[in-house]
């Protein structure tokens, strides 16, 4: 008897909140595409990019204004939401708006933040730090479970490799899933080149789709990517965001791979 394979979730959106127009247009298009392919979708955009290369880098509208904008997006589009939290005291107000709390990679070992997220009652997505081995996430899972969280993901986004470069070891996805963790693959942050442009992070957007194909072929529970209608004009991570016009074709291909994998 044939049964339909459980779809992977999709987390996608512009890197940082730039304007309501951008949020609405991108959210509606992503919702249309993911609905077409029956993929669970969470819209993502950050109210604050706290980890920036330069003091002059654009960070976003901040907590209060950013959450107000995200709340309006949820109201106008019906999309489920996720966004980053950076401090324990941000968790409560953010949890009132979003469906998944996301912990940035550089903060994945911050115990107070992890515990606050775990106690929120929300799904938690922890990005695995570029400095962690796959089995290191067991201790993060222990913290989340201690706080009462039963629904959480770990996101693979590459490991540090020399100066200004990241590399994805696909064995890490296999190892984390073999330890009964749900794993998301971050296709766009994995192709970053941190601080490679001096005061900005560089990257190779063209490599995001090939890496996503590889990740889906070995098995993932979710796919994360950042996208923008005009990446060259984006105010953050312009070098790595997937053009919005390419998303439909990309997901169609990835879903075929997903369904073909035993």
For residue 147, being part of any structural domain is answered with yes
The residues, ordered by sequence, that sit 6+ positions from 214 with a Cβ below 8 Å of its Cβ are 168, 170
For residue 84, being part of any structural domain is answered with yes
pLDDT below 70 — which residues of the chain? 1-3, 52-53, 194-202
The residues, ordered by sequence, that sit 6+ positions from 72 with a Cβ below 8 Å of its Cβ are 20
Q: What are phi and psi of 209, to 5 degrees?
A: -65, -45
For residue 145, being part of any structural domain is answered with yes
Determine the distance from the C-alpha atom of residue 114 to the mean position of all C-alpha atoms in its chain, rounded to a whole number: 17
| Nearest of 175, 200, 204 to residue 187 by alpha carbon | 204
Q: What is the pLDDT of residue 54?
A: 73
Say how many Å lie between the first and final Cα of the chain, rounded.
Answer: 15
For residue 1, being part of any structural domain is answered with no
Q: What is the pLDDT of residue 53?
A: 67
For residue 144, being part of any structural domain is answered with yes
Q: Which two tokens stand for residue 238?
A: 């312009």
The residue range of the domain holding 96 is: 9-260
For residue 152, being part of any structural domain is answered with yes
For residue 194, being part of any structural domain is answered with yes
Q: Which two tokens stand for residue 61?
A: 């509208």
- List the CATH number of the domain containing 134: 3.20.20.70
Instruction: Find out whether 124 and 96 touch, Cβ atoms under 8 Å.
Output: no
Domain count, the chain: 1
For residue 2, being part of any structural domain is answered with no
């Amino acid at each position: 008897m044939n049964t339909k394979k459980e779809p992977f979730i999709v987390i996608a959106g512009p890197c940082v909140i730039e304007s309501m127009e951008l949020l609405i247009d991108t959210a509606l298009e992503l919702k249309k595409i993911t609905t077409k392919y029956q993929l669970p979708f969470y819209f993502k955009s950050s109210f604050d990019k706290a980890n920036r290369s330069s003091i002059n880098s654009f960070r976003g509208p901040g907590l209060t204004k950013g959450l107000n904008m995200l709340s309006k997006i949820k109201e106008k589009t019906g999309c489920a939401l996720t966004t980053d939290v950076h401090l324990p005291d941000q968790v409560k107000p953010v949890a009132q708006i979003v469906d998944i709390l996301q912990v940035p990679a550089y903060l994945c070992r911050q115990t107070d933040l992890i515990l606050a997220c775990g106690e929120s009652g929300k799904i938690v997505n922890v990005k695995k730090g570029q400095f962690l081995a796959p089995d290191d996430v067991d201790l993060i899972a222990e913290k989340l479970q201690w706080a009462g969280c039963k629904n959480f993901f770990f996101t693979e986004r590459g490991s540090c490799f020399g100066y200004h470069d990241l590399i994805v070891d696909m064995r890490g996805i296999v190892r984390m899933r073999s330890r009964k963790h749900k794993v998301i693959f971050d296709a766009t942050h994995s192709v970053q080149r941190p601080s490679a442009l001096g005061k900005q992070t560089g990257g190779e957007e063209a490599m995001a789709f090939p890496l996503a194909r590889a990740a889906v072929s070995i098995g993932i529970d979710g796919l994360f990517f950042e996208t923008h209608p005009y990446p060259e004009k984006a105010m953050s991570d312009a070098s790595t965001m997937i053009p919005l016009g390419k998303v439909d074709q990309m997901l169609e291909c990835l879903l075929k791979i997903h369904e073909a994998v035993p």
